[in-house]
Structure 1
Amino acid sequence: MPGIVPVLRHTSSKPTTSDYEESELDEMKGVQTYSAAMMPSPVFLFRFKVVLFILWFICCLKISWGSVMRMNTDLQDLFLYETFLYYNPLLLVTLMVWLWGINLWVFSQSSVSYARVFDLDHTHLTHHEIWKCATWMTIVVPTSMTAYLYLYSHGEVALAASQPVMLYIVVLTLLIFPFDIFYLSSRYFLLRTIWRICLPLQAITFADFFLADIMTSMSKVFSDLERSTCRMLNKQVATIAWFEADAICGSHSVAIPLVLVFPYLCRFFQCLRQYKDTKEKTCLFNALKYTTAIPVIFLSALKYHVIPDSWTNFYRPLWLISSVINSLYSFYWDITRDWDLSILSRIFKFKNPTFWSDALHGKVWVYYWVIFSNLILRCTWTYKLSAHLRHNYLTVFTITALEIVRRFQWIFFRVENEWNKMNNKQWVELSTNTPKTEEEDTLLGSTGHEV
C-alpha cells in the first residue's frame, strides 16, 4: 500500500534509511533530551548534599553538647574521656582515609603513576572511591558517637553501651565480608598486606613497608583500639570503674606499651628480611632506626610501675635522651633516605597546571617547609608517648592528628622518590640491554694507540 511502503533515499556516504525510521529516532532523541532536562545538574546535587551534611553536623553537635551539659560536672571529664576512647580511633582513621584520597588525587593529576609504584591492577580504588568511603565513615562514626552521648546522658545505659559495640562489629564485618560487594579486591589486598606486615616471611614489596610506616604513625590508634576492645570484652562499656589505674583495662595495663611498640617491631623485622634478600647495609641502619622507638615507649610506661623518685631521678632522663635520639634519627632518615632531599629534586609536575601547582613545583620554600614541619612534628609525636599525657585525651588526639598530617605530606615525597628510582632503574636497564653498533664496539674496544 502506498501509505505504508517507505520512500527510500539514496546518498553517497550514508546508509539508506526510511522516513519512518528517522521519525522514530527523532522521537527517541526527544525523549532522551527531555529525560536529561528533567535530571538535576551535578552541581545542584553536590550543593544539596553539602547542605544536608551541614545540617546533619549541626544537629549532631547540638545533641552532643546538650547531652554533655546534662551530666554532673564532676563526671563530665570522665564521661568525655571514655567517649573519646571508643570513637577517637575511628575518627583518626577517617581522617587518614580523607588525606589518602587527597594523596591519590594529586598523584592522578601529576606525572607520578602510583598504580605502578604500588603494583596495583586496574581494579584499584581511585580517589573518588576513597572519598566515598571517607564520606560514609564521616557520617556513621559521629552519628554513633552522638547516639552514645544522648542515650548515656538520658539514663539509657544499656542502649548507650551497645552503640560502640555495634559500630566496631559493623566495621569489622565490612572489612572481612567475603562477598563481592564494597570493593572486595581492595579490602582483601589491604588484609593481605597487613598479614604480610605481621609475618614478613615473603619478599618485602613497596606496599608492605609503605603501609607499615603508616602504621607506626597510628600506633596510638591501635593502643586505643586495644583498650576499647578490652572494655567491650570485659563488659565495662558505659562505666567509669575502668578509670582506676589498676583495672583490667586501666592505664597501668602492660598491653598498652606492647601494642604501641608492635608496628615498630614489624617494621624492624621487615628491614631484616630486606637485608637477607638484598645484602644492603642500609637495611640494617633502617632497622636500627625503628629500635630507637622501643626504649621511648617502655621507659615511658615505667612511670606507672616505679616509685616517683626513681622515675624523676633516673628513668625520666633516660626517656628524654632516647626521645631525642629517636626523633633526630627518624628525621635524618626521612630527609636523606625516604625523600632523598639532599639534592632537592623537583616536586612532580601536574598534567593540568594550576595556580597551586605552579606555586609548588620546584619551589625551594616547599622543601624548607617540609623539612622544618617534619622535624617539629617528629619531636611532638615522641613527646606524645610521655606517660603523663595519657589522660589528656584532647592533647593526645590533637598530637596524633598532627602526626597523621605529617605522614600525609611524607607520602608525597616518599612516593615521588620511589617513582624516580623506578624510572632511573628502567633507564639503566634499557641502556644496558641496548645493543652497541659496530662503530661503538670499535671505539670502546680500542685500547692501543700508536703515537
Structure 2
Amino acid sequence: MYFPVAFQVLFLAQLAAIGWGANLRLLSNAGIEVRPVLQLAQLPTASRSDDRPDDGLHKNVFRLARVLAAVTATGWLLSALASSPAMQTWLTLLTYVAVVGIVVQPQRILCHTVRMQFLGSLVRIVVPSMVSPVFLSDIIMADILTSCARTFADMRLVVCQFVSLAWPSEAGTCTDTGFLGALLVAMPYAFRLRQCVNEYLNAVPGSAEARRHLANAVKYASSFPVICLSAMHRRAEIEASAGVKQSSWILRPAFGLWVLAVAFNSLYSYYWDVAFDWNLGHTRSGWKLADCVVPSVSASLASSSVPGAADEMSELAIPRDLVSPADALARNMYVPTTKRSFPRLLRPQLRFAWTWLYYAAMMIDFLLRITWTMKLSSYIRIDQMAFGGFWLNVLEVYRRWQWTFLRIEKEAAL
C-alpha cells in the first residue's frame, strides 16, 4: 500500500483538526460556552466575528478540515498513480504547498477567523515572551503540539525527501539528521515549558498558583532526558545494524536511565492530567489528588485541629452552578445536591451526567501514557509492524482529543 510518511503527517494533522471540531461541537451541544472558556475574545487577533455562537466555530473548523482533507486525498491518489518516484515527490511537494497556502492565505474567505486564530496562536507559542499573557487556547494548542512531537520528527524525513529532489548532491548528508530529529521532537515541549515559566513569573511569588506552574514546568522539563536518551539509543541501534561494535558498559546504563526517565515522565504526566488538567481525584473529606503537589487551603485545614473548618472552606472554595436539576438533566449536566454526594474520585461539579465517561477517560489515558512499555517486550515490535508508528500516532491523537474534551469541561465547571 502506498502511504509514505509525507502523507501520514498530513493525515494526522487533519485528523487532529477534525478531533478539535468534534470537541467544539460536543461541548457546545452539552451547553458549554467554549469561546469565553478559551478566552477567544481576549486574543490580540480577536474580531467582531468572534462574538458569534459556538456552533459557527465548530462548523468553520469542520469546513476547513474537509477542504484540506480533499486536497490531501487528491494529492495522495495522484502520487500513488504516478509512474516514477520523482513524479511522486513532486506531487507530494505540490500537495504540501497547496495545504499550507490554503491555511496562510490572508483573504477573508474559507474560515478566515479560524485560520487567523490558529496562525496567531502558533506565533504566540513559538515567539519567546515572559511578559505576555498566556491564554487557555494557546495552552491547549501547545499541549496538542506536544502530542504531535513524533510527527514533527517524521517531518525531517519529508524535508530530506524534498531536499534530495532539489539538490541531489545533498541527499546523503540530509539523511544523517538524528540530532535534527531530536531537536524537532523537543521543540513542542520547550514551547510549553516556556509558557509555564511565563505563568510562574507572572504569578504572586510563593502562592499556590506559582507553585502549580513551577510543578507543571517540571513535568515538561522531564521530557528532555527521555528525548536525549531515546536519540542516543536509536543512534546505537543504527550503528549496530551497520556493523559498528558498541560498548555494552555504556548502552546498558543508558537504557536503564531511559526506562527511569520515561517512567517518571509518563506517570507524572498522567497524574497531572487527572489531578490538575481534569481536576479529578477528590474525596468527600475535602482532600484531592492535586494536594500531593500543591496543597490547597482546605487540605491544610483538614489536617488542623479545628473541627469542621475543612468542610466550611471546601464549601466556600467550590461554587455551584446556578442550574436547576431538571435543566441540568436536559443538558446532560450533573449537578450534585450536596458537596458529599459526588461520585467517588471525581469532583463535586461535573458537567456531564455520564460518570462512566470520566472513569473511562482516566483508564484510557493511563493505558496510552504507558504505551512505551511495548518497547520492552520481545514479542511486540511496533517498529516492525506495518505502519506501526502511524497507528501509535493515531492513538496519541485520540488521547489528546479526550484530554482536550475534559480539559475544557473542567474549566467550564469551575
- Same fold at TM > 0.5: yes
Change (3 A) 1:174 1:212: same
Change (3 A) 1:309 1:414: same
- For 1:94-133, what aligned pairs fall within 5 Å after superposition? 94-120=14-40, 121-122=50-51, 125-133=56-64
- Hey, what's the Cα distance between the residues in 2 that align with 1:105 and 1:163? 34
Instruction: Give the drift of 1:179.
Output: 1.7
Instruction: Give the drift of 1:419.
Output: 1.7
Deviations along 1:51-108, one digit per CA (max 9) or x if unpaired, are xxxxxxxxxxxxxxxxx5xxxxxxxxxxx5xx42111111011111121111111111
Aligned residue number for residue 175 of structure 2? 250
Aligned residue number for residue 79 of structure 2? 148
1:232 to 162, 169, 173: 162
Structure 1 contact 103–411 (Cα < 8 Å) conserved: yes
Instruction: Give the drift of 1:225.
Output: 2.1
- Hey, what's the Cα distance between the residues in 1 that align with 2:386 and 2:151? 12
Instruction: Give the drift of 1:381.
Output: 5.8
1:297 to 216, 220, 227: 227
1:414 aligns with 2:407: yes
**What is the root-mean-square deviation in Å for CA atoms of aligned residues?**
3.1
- For 1:85-96, what aligned pairs fall within 5 Å after superposition? 85-96=5-16
Deviations along 1:284-337, one digit per CA (max 9) or x if unpaired, are 100000011111111011024443625641211111111100110000000110
Instruction: Give the drift of 1:208.
Output: 1.4
1:404 aligns with 2:394: no
Change (3 A) 1:137 1:127: same
Q: Which amino acid letter does the alignment assign opposite residue 369 of structure 2?
A: R
Aligned residue number for residue 115 of structure 2? 187
- For 1:161-176, what aligned pairs fall within 5 Å after superposition? 161-176=89-104
Aligned residue number for residue 216 of structure 2? 286
Q: Which amino acid letter does the alignment assign opposite residue 378 of structure 1?
A: R
Q: Which amino acid letter does the alignment assign opposite residue 103 of structure 2?
A: L
- Hey, what's the Cα distance between the residues in 1 that align with 2:74 and 2:184? 28
- For 1:2-401, what aligned pairs fall within 5 Å after superposition? 80=2, 83-120=3-40, 121-122=50-51, 125-151=56-82, 154=83, 156-201=84-129, 202-235=132-165, 247-250=172-175, 252-279=177-204, 280-306=210-236, 307=246, 309-310=248-249, 312-343=251-282, 361-380=352-371, 394-401=387-394
Q: Which amino acid letter does the alignment assign opposite residue 225 of structure 2?
A: P
The two structures have a TM-score, normalised by structure 1, of: 0.66
Q: Which amino acid letter does the alignment assign opposite residue 110 of structure 1?
A: A
Change (3 A) 1:391 1:148: farther
Aligned residue number for residue 45 of structure 2? none
Q: Which amino acid letter does the alignment assign opposite residue 183 of structure 2?
A: L
- Hey, what's the Cα distance between the residues in 1 that align with 2:191 and 2:33? 27
Aligned residue number for residue 449 of structure 1? none
Deviations along 1:401-428, one digit per CA (max 9) or x if unpaired, are 001101111112100111223xxxxxxx
Per mean C-alpha deviation after superposition, the further-off stretch among 128-137 and 284-293 is 128-137
Instruction: Give the drift of 1:184.
Output: 2.2
Structure 1 contact 111–350 (Cα < 8 Å) conserved: no
> What are structure 1's unaligned runs of at least 5 residues?
1-67, 69-79, 355-359, 422-451
Change (3 A) 1:193 1:310: farther
Deviations along 1:338-366, one digit per CA (max 9) or x if unpaired, are 00012389999575559xxxxx9334422
- Hey, what's the Cα distance between the residues in 2 that align with 1:385 and 1:275? 37
Structure 1 contact 384–396 (Cα < 8 Å) conserved: no
Change (3 A) 1:248 1:236: farther
Structure 1 contact 117–206 (Cα < 8 Å) conserved: yes
Percent of residue pairs identical: 27
Structure 2 contact 30–332 (Cα < 8 Å) conserved: no
Aligned residue number for residue 9 of structure 1? none
Instruction: Give the drift of 1:207.
Output: 1.2
Q: Which amino acid letter does the alignment assign opposite residue 186 of structure 1?
A: V
> What are structure 2's unaligned runs of at least 5 residues?
41-49, 205-209, 237-245, 284-317, 322-326, 334-350
- Hey, what's the Cα distance between the residues in 1 that align with 2:373 and 2:277? 19
- Hey, what's the Cα distance between the residues in 2 that align with 1:92 and 1:311? 36
Per mean C-alpha deviation after superposition, the further-off stretch among 124-133 and 293-302 is 124-133
Structure 1 contact 148–160 (Cα < 8 Å) conserved: yes
- 3-state SS of paired residue (1:203): coil
Q: Which amino acid letter does the alignment assign opposite residue 144 of structure 2?
A: I
Instruction: Give the drift of 1:375.
Output: 0.6
Instruction: Give the drift of 1:250.
Output: 2.8
- 3-state SS of paired residue (1:341): coil
- Hey, what's the Cα distance between the residues in 1 that align with 2:135 and 2:115? 18
